[in-house]
Structure 1
């Protein structure tokens, strides 16, 4: 197994036990924890704090069971769960509109210590700003999160209560916020990197939430499965659970017209090749339909100009470096006013073909010359605005697919549908793009290759 395939899994505090056996097991674990700490407690917790503490213990136990059962079914044994022990992080007041439950607080720290003291977990606490040695790995790793593993005693209690199989754990996300707002970032980082901020109830967020729930209803019941069960993604190393379908919509820069892309569902982090070779819907493989050069075409729509025919990233002199040009174009659209780019982004350098290596300023100038109508938008910080338009287009497409009884899996500017629904989906995508942008969009279709489909 490669180092990439040994990714630990984040604790998901929305996980709970769904079976009677699981709930009885959780009660046993909570009882052990409370009995162990009782002699050393000088005063009882307030009722709300006490209930929250039990919820934390229940959620951690459910996560440990989930980890063990997922690894048992996929023959993986070296992964752990990671969770923060940072008082700075855990002591923050939990906003109303946040992705975490309101009972997550700094009680996590003594709970982890008590579970370790009662031999329920192995706990690997990081050295501040340094390396941590994980005895469950041959490799060393960096990080500021604590890694936990279930102990033999924990597994023995599982066996005694008949807790075996993923069906004992589910995700109870009734209170989870699905419309998130991220903080402003001057450096132009994308949506998942900046901090969540709270916001007052408002009609705009309510509208987005209502639409997302309509889309989610179809995804929740759609017959979707993945070949090779929960085996990890070759790209991310993450174990795959097809029950984890809940989408969230993330807006940036504390604005409701910034970004709005979809995140959260299990298929989004996978590679294109994995989606095409492992996902089955309605008993069929899926095809990918995506908009060719979407960011560039949206930028031309914003500039009220017509793009060139053909590939928007085919800059003369850099035909072998399409990936480089694509990343650079995106960077220029995200660059903030006043920033004069003179270097290529790291990802762009990776896509630069060895036969076409030139000074960064020469490549940047060639791209700007190729897309002269977009010069006013380069360095204007419009990237998030274009992402918002992209997400609105995808939302409209998903809603129209729903009316036709078609389930679509969104991945930013692409959508995956069963192979027998490709033509209907393509027509809808072209129609929506025309309506929203005022020009023709180019939809590419990638069908699954049977010779590359996993057995």
Structure 2
């Protein structure tokens, strides 16, 4: 990979007609920009971006390259670099119609693809930029669409000033990433699409603030980025850690138990999502209860058209399952709420005040603590929001750590088990 980058860099420099050499800092940024583009194009040969094969890229000058989430190498000369690479048959460029608000995009040429394949480059040759920001904060502004009248959310990343909290979170994520980077983690090829890159392990932690809230890091906070997080459940059985199959462990009814802990109450025994009349619709009950936890007022009268802000993943998604689609016909918000409150009357005090975003943060704090303790015991584990994948032989140790860390963080030992 390095040899390929050096080859392309030398090719570009041999064709430059400069009156004088770049300053040292500018030359360093030039080399890093070439490296960044070539590495991403080469990666797209091994793992083509779906569904179009094109890589979106920001070619606007403005503030690009200057923010917390930017690489300073991609400054005002980036657009010229792409033109040079196109002229040398390395990439194709695509400029979208301005009125559609889309970004420019690039893709590798077939000639460049031949260079990558003949070089014997594999997933093991790639790694994330160690300077990449791993603590992400975005501001979500809620409004209503003038066309449909439906609520909508506009999200924008916040170029925040560091605090002692953000620094501590960043150090913890980077330490975990460094540990996972050296761990023996593999994926047994199952011949399915998309292709799985077991070396894609760099995690980021993502926080959210709303509307005019001040800077804070106690909402959401989940980990994203590892290859296992986007894998369908049935494909995770192909993962190997230290040569062993993995087992999926999770906390039972975690969100509802965290809500009870916030109220300083004990939940009833048994399955918390078993509601009379809805015994065959457990997933719908779970979504409905989570919806009430994320509501910021108790005035909901209809189910959301879609989940919008996924209560399962914490990520904005389109076309998510509707709550209504997971409940029987005729189960309105009011009817469902009354049925749930017959089993969980205390939860009415937790609903309608936006508590879910802080519970998601508590969930993430527990998971990070579990991963950290296992790391200290030299046990690689892959976090899954409210659970984790561990080597089969370390199951009992991991379950004990999960119970211990939940008690340490929220004062209650949350039950956990092998995921069904």
Question: How high is the TM-score relative to the length of structure 1?
Answer: 0.76
Cα displacement string for residues 362-403 of structure 1 (whole angstroms, at most 9, x for unaligned residues): 224433454321212212111111011111111221122123
Residue 340 (structure 2) pairs with residue 367 (structure 1)? yes
Between the aligned partners of 1:339 and 1:92, the Cα distance in structure 2 is 42
**What is aligned with 1:298?**
258
Q: 1:443 aligns with which of 403, 416, 419?
A: 416
Q: Which moved more, 1:345-354 or 1:60-69?
A: 345-354
Q: 1:178 aligns with which of 110, 134, 137?
A: 134
- Counterpart pick for 2:234 among 249, 273, 277: 273
Task: Report the equivalent of 1:323.
Answer: 283
Quote the offset at 1:145 in angstroms.
Answer: 3.6
Cα deviation 1:228-259 (Å, max 9, x = unaligned): 07x665xxx4x322112111222221312222
Conservation of the 8 A alpha-carbon contact between 2:288 and 2:323: no
Tell me the equivalent position of 1:62. 39
**What SS does structure 2 have at the residue aligned with 1:194?**
strand
Q: Is the 8 A contact 2:140 2:154 kept in 1?
A: no
Q: 1:123 aligned to 2:56?
A: no
Residue of structure 2 in register with 1:102 after alignment:
72
In structure 1, stretches of 5+ residues that fail to align are 1-16, 131-142, 448-455
User: Structure 1 pair 440/356, CA: closer, same or farther in 2 (3 Å)?
Assistant: farther
2:112 matches 1:154:
yes
Match of 2:316 in 1: none
Distance of 2:103 and 2:39 partners within structure 1: 19
* 1:111-138 deviations in Å (ceiling 9; x for gaps): 33443344332233333466xxxxxxxx
Q: CA deviation at 1:209?
A: 2.4
Gaps of 5+ in 2: 144-152, 210-214, 307-319
Q: Paired residue for 2:369, among 393, 396, 404?
A: 396
Select the residue among 25, 29, 38 that pairs with 1:52: 29
Equivalent in the alignment of 1:313: 273
Does the CA-based 8 Å contact 2:302-2:332 persist in structure 1? no
**Do the aligned partners of 1:261 and 1:388 also contact (CA within 8 Å) in 2?**
yes
Work out whether 1:216 is the aligned partner of 2:177: yes
The CA RMSD over aligned residues, in Å, is 3.3
Give the superposition deviation at 1:269. Answer: 1.3
Residues 319 and 45 of structure 1, relative CA distance in 2, 3 Å threshold = farther
Q: Greater RCO between the two (CA within 8 Å, min separation 6)?
A: 1
Aligned position for 2:222: 261
Q: Quick one: distance in 2 between partners of 1:83 and 1:45?
A: 28
